[in-house]
Amino acid sequence: MLSALVSVIVVVLTVDAVRRPNILLIVADDHGWNDVDWHDPTLNTPNLNTLAHDEHTVQLDYAYVNQVCSPTRSALFSGYYPYHLGTQHYVFEWLEPSGVPLEYIFFPEKLKTLGYNTYMVGKWHLGYCKHEFLPTRRGFEKFRGYYGGSENYYTHEASQDEGEVTVRGLDYFQDTRQSFAADWSKTGLYSTEVFTNETITLLQNHDKKRPFFFYLAFQAVHSPLQMPPSRYMEEKCSKITRKNRQIYC
């Protein structure tokens, strides 16, 4: 069951000319309110805890999102409730010839007109059946990541059974506005690390004279529940008896 509760952390890193701050928007996928160690002490989320309790952080404890990806993300980028966009029902499926209607402008498009460089790394899930629906045609200058959802964290492949048809294939792309390319070089690498490293690389090459908007949309902790083996039996997590909860930890 895909119950995608998405939590959002916005970190304003530095301030340029007072009114054009750099913006890093990090989204965790299916990360519930209770899946952090300051709400459930049996878990172990030290980095989130540090971010959440920074003196510059505002925690929105009564903010709500839709129950799955596409409605939530479409509202986030368009500023409209999903029922205005027609995205309220469910996520965009692999064989669905659909995306968020193009008359709705996504806000990174507007940030570009203010002089921002715009980047996205991670999971899109707002339509992919034609180029016009893709991140680099909706405000992002560079994109690396998944078009859809529920990929394997290591192979970056997705599959879906639709009646007698099974759709299966790689879902990892490296796009600019002009070029759209499947990227096989990340096979075998864990997506959280891949996305983090891609983000660091893009930011290191960013022209510091301009402000940036960076959307980092992690796959974790969405199903399938996969994590790097080296962390699996860490002392804190091994105390948890429920297997899925231990993986989340």
Ligand X SMILES: *[C@@H]1O[C@H](CO)[C@@H](O)[C@H](O)[C@H]1NC(C)=O
Give the residue numbers annotated as catalytic, written as ranges: 69, 125
Q: What is the DSSP letter of 106?
A: P
| Rounded CA separation 191/189 (Å) | 6
Q: Cβ of residue 84: shortest distance to ligand X, in angstroms? A: 39
The binding site for ligand X (CB under 6 A) comprises 189, 193-194, 197
Beta strands 142-146 and 173-176 are antiparallel
Q: Cβ of residue 144: shortest distance to ligand X, in angstroms? A: 12
Shorter beta-carbon distance to ligand X: residue 185 or 241: 185
* Angstrom distances, CA of residue 143 to CA of 21, 99, 118, 128, 193: 21, 17, 9, 13, 16
Shorter beta-carbon distance to ligand X: residue 108 or 122: 122
* Angstrom distances, CA of residue 33 to CA of 37, 69, 73, 149: 10, 16, 18, 21
- Paired residues of 165 in beta bridges: 162
Q: Cβ of residue 217: shortest distance to ligand X, in angstroms? A: 17
| Rounded CA separation 118/241 (Å) | 43
Shorter beta-carbon distance to ligand X: residue 59 or 197: 197
Phi, psi of 26 (to 5 degrees): -110, 130
Q: Cβ of residue 143: shortest distance to ligand X, in angstroms? A: 18
Shorter beta-carbon distance to ligand X: residue 137 or 142: 142
